[in-house]
Amino acid sequence: MKLNKNSFFSQFLNFFKRRIVLFFIGSLLVMLIIMLLHQFEILNSYIIQIINVSLVYVILAVSLNLINGFTGQFSIGHMGFAAVGAYTSATITTLLLKITPTSLPNYLVFIIALLLGGCLAGLTGFIIGFPSLRLKGDYLAIMTLGFGEIIRTIFNNINYVGGPRGLLGIPKFSTFPIIFITAILTIIIIRNLVFSTHGRALLSIRENEVASELVGIDTTRYKILAFVIGAFFAGIGGGLLAHLIQIAHPTQFGFMYSILVLIMVYAGGMGSISGSVIAAFVLTFLSEGLRVGLASLSDLIKFPVGDQWRMVIYSLLLIFIMLFRTEGLMGMKELKFLIPEEEDIDGKCS
Amino acid sequence: MDISTILQQIFNGLQLGSIYALIALGYTMVYGIVRLINFAHGDFYMIGAYASYGLFFAIGTLVASSFSGPTAAIILFIIILLGSMISGGTIALLANQFAYKPLRNKPRLSSLITAIGVSMFLEYFLSALPVVGPSYRGFPELIKKTTYNFGPAIVSNFVLLDLGVAAILMIFLTVLVRYTKIGKAMRAVSQDKDAAKLMGINIESVIATTFLIGGSFAGVAGLLAGLTYPRIYPYMGILPGLKAFIAAVLGGIGNIPGAVLGSYIMGIAETFATAVNSLIGEGIAFAILIVVLLFRPQGLLGEKVADKI
């Protein structure tokens, strides 16, 4: 009996019984189903494109949630990191590849470019985080906003990457499977981080910074850790976005878009990965729905209804979420498949 | 840079600083009392500019026909000034009433997010309204521009107007805060909200008054900015709002003389930096912010407050 329990086969089976593994396999199945549906043209390319954009926003929102929701640091310049990732990876795949063509397959170049973009974004996160994490709350918010704008202004003024025209002609390397798998990996990595010892430290900083410092947590180190990891994934998200819509433009990473990601985090619930995922999907689809809806409305009443109404509805949504459901859709709860089995012993999760 | 350019830039900086100061005063007062960075404050400024614009086209010809010569211009200016104050103040009051007041006892960051929401709402609502629209509009010439030679520099009457209006409003605010009952109540609430409540001060009405004053000052700043830099659009409030906030932080947030000092430093620094290079001009505000927060987070005139555990 004992032998049997420790046998390779039962360990192998146990591995597949773990929720997170099941989650990974399940999401791969979902991916295959969506691809099949696309193959048989039940889902057209338009829907696939919206799903792609949603998945990029999942990456951005989950990574921002690590900083804002789990660590309690109020960062509102997330798109600045995404811009670093986008421009870095796009420079590699678009500009450098033209000068020095390699024999490497495209997807490998793309993955390397994405990772480099992510690393550079992480480095930016470190450079920004190091001085500004001595600040708290409101001040940190303004500081991150300022840095986000500075990063955008810098790209606006570098002629090599197109300046205010933007970087055009980026190859469309971001295909549905690549984006999907990256998003799933992001969710799993951040989930594993949050439920680890380090994650506990991050949560304690959110709950009470002074108290967590008193029990011996190096708060500055952990805050920078959260910032760097959040920025890394934002960079990867930015890279995917640039290769999805085939342009990297400074306005695409403006303050407005940082706020959009922020709305997703708050609407989904601060400190809930599943909340961020749901909110990213719901809001992206809502946004597209509104675009279509407003266009048909203006056809109907024979009067132009501006696209700005979409943003009016968005901002009202943000205000109403804050007024009537401050904790967001999911609060701090997670869907069950993201909670490790060990957490069930207490019968509750963080 | 020779001496005349330097003098000229100082005047330009003072002019810009006056506009920042009027915005920063509202920021700093609201922050001092409710500890909220009111992101929508820059949009009250935008509302002021649009209200003046609308008011000019509504009553401009009427006033011009019923009065003659310079009196007409003065009366029109005063009416529009009051109009910009009322519109900015009203919007600020409404924002306080509907968006910030219900969140008073919730975590502070949720009011900050709501403020971002209010800011977005005002910007996009105005640009979505067909009568306003998202495009740039030229601001009408309320007052003829005349220039005077001041030593080697040239000073226009707009510089004097901006400085004068800002100075009058600052004196008004100082008197209000120092010598009136509501001013005393404001100072009390900013020092200790709970104790002020126990002393029988109606906190909500003090907060509403603060929003009203702050909003009306921002509205005036909008009018002055429209006159000085005659181009208005719905998103015009974002950057000046941010820079005015930074000016308030530079002076020590919650501190009224500090906000004025910070704004003038900011205005002058920005004009000089822009003269060197426009990119540096864009970034100087954030550079100032970073330096201040790193080396003197309490600001130039602020007092250091220890964290309460």
| Average pLDDT score over residue span A67-82 | 90
CA–CA–CA angle B184, B212, B136 (5° rounding):
145
B37 touches chain A (CB under 8 A): yes
Q: Can you name the residues that pair with B231 across neighbouring β-strands?
A: B138
In this structure, what are the phi and psi dihedrals at residue A74, rounded to the nearest 5 degrees?
-90, 95
Residues in B touching A134 (Cβ below 8 Å): 294
Structural domain boundaries, residue A85: 47-346
Residue A84 has pLDDT above 80, yes or no: yes
Q: Could you tell me which residues come within 8 angstroms of residue B235 by beta carbon, excluding any fewer than 6 positions away?
A: B46, B123, B127
Do A318 and B109 lie within an 8 Å CB cutoff? no
Q: Name every chain A residue with its beta carbon within 8 A of the beta carbon of B117.
A: 315-316, 318-319, 322
Distance CA B75, CA B81 (A): 10
pLDDT of B294 strictly over 80: no
- CATH code (residue A341): 1.10.3470
pLDDT digits (tens, 9 = 90+) for B168-207: 999 999 999 999 999 999 999 988 888 999 999 999 999 9
* Residue to substitute from A262, A308, A310, interface B, most B β-carbons within 10 A: A308
Enter the tokens of residue A271.
Answer: 């400190």
Q: How many CA atoms lie within 13 A of B151 on its CB side?
A: 9
To 10 degrees, the CA torsion angle through A5, A11, A15, A17? -30
Structurally, chain A folds into a number of domains equal to: 1
In chain B, residues with a C-beta closer than 8 Å to the C-beta of A302 are: none
A201-215, A277-291, A328-342, B28-42: segment of lowest average pLDDT = A328-342
Q: What is the pLDDT of residue A96?
A: 78
User: Angle, to 10 degrees, between the axis of helix B3-34 and the axis of helix B157-179?
Assistant: 30
**Band of pLDDT at residue A347, cut at 50, 70 and 90:** very low
Cβ of B120 and A322 within 8 Å? no
What pLDDT does residue A252 have?
87
Per the listing, tokens 């080396």 go with B295
Say yes or no to pLDDT of A5 above 70. Answer: no
Asked if the Cβ–Cβ distance from B282 to A153 is below 8 Å, we say yes
Contact A74/B109, CB-based, under 8 Å?
yes
- pLDDT (average), residues A93-98: 80
At A156, the pLDDT band (50, 70, 90 cuts) reads confident
Residues in B touching A138 (Cβ below 8 Å): 35, 37, 108, 112
Q: Would you call A318 and B116 a contact, using CB atoms and an 8 Å cutoff?
A: yes
How would DSSP label each residue in A178-224?
HHHHHHHHHHHHHHHHHTSHHHHHHHHHHH-HHHHHHTT--HHHHHH
Confidence check: pLDDT of A349 > 50: no
Kind and range of the H or E element at B155?
Answer: strand B153-156
Q: According to the model, what pLDDT value does residue A350 have?
A: 44
Of A238, A200, A279, residue with least CA distance to A90: A238
Averaged confidence pLDDT in chain A: 86
Tell me what percent of chain A is helix, strand and coil, each rounded to the nearest 5: 75, 0, 20
Residue entry with tokens 């303050």: A255
Q: What is the mean pLDDT of chain B?
A: 88
Contact call for A210 and B309, based on CB within 8 A: yes
Contact state of B118 with A319 under an 8 Å Cβ cutoff: yes
C-beta atoms surrounding A300 within 10 Å: 9
Confidence class of residue A4 from pLDDT cuts 50, 70 and 90? low
Dihedral Cα A281, A284, A285, A286, nearest 10 deg: 120
Closest by alpha carbon to B56, among B159, B134, B127, B139? B139
Which residues of chain B lie closer than 8 angstroms to A210, CB-CB? 307, 309
Contact of A286 with A274, CB cutoff 8 Å? no
A332 vs A5 pLDDT, higher one: A332
Higher pLDDT, B273 or B143: B273
- Contact flag A139-B286 (C-beta cutoff 8 Å): no
Burial of residue B134, with CB atoms counted within 10 A of its CB: 0-12 exposed, 13-18 middle, 19 or more buried: middle
- Tell me, yes or no, whether A22 lies in a domain: no
Q: Is the pTM of this model over 0.90?
A: no
| Most B CBs within 10 Å, among A210, A313, A319, A325, to test the B interface | A319
Q: CA dist A220 to A73, A78, B297, Å?
A: 11, 19, 17
User: Is the pLDDT at B230 greater than 90, yes or no?
Assistant: no
Average pLDDT over residues A137-149: 81
CA atoms of B135 and B125, how far apart (whole Å): 13
Whole-Å CA distances, A302 to A299, A305, B129: 5, 9, 16
Any idea where the domains of chain B sit in the sequence? 7-135+148-234
User: Is A169 a residue whose pLDDT tops 50?
Assistant: yes
Establish if A122 belongs to a structural domain: yes
Angle of helix B3-34 relative to helix B238-251, nearest 10 degrees, comes to 80
ipTM value for the complex: 0.83
- Joined together, the tokens standing for residue A107 give 């997807």
Q: With an 8 Å Cβ cutoff, are B127 and A306 in contact? A: yes
Where do the H-state alpha helices sit in A66-136?
78-90, 97-99, 106-132
Residue B307, C-beta contacts closer than 8 angstroms, at least 6 positions apart: A210
For residue A111, the Cα-to-chain-centroid distance in whole angstroms is 17
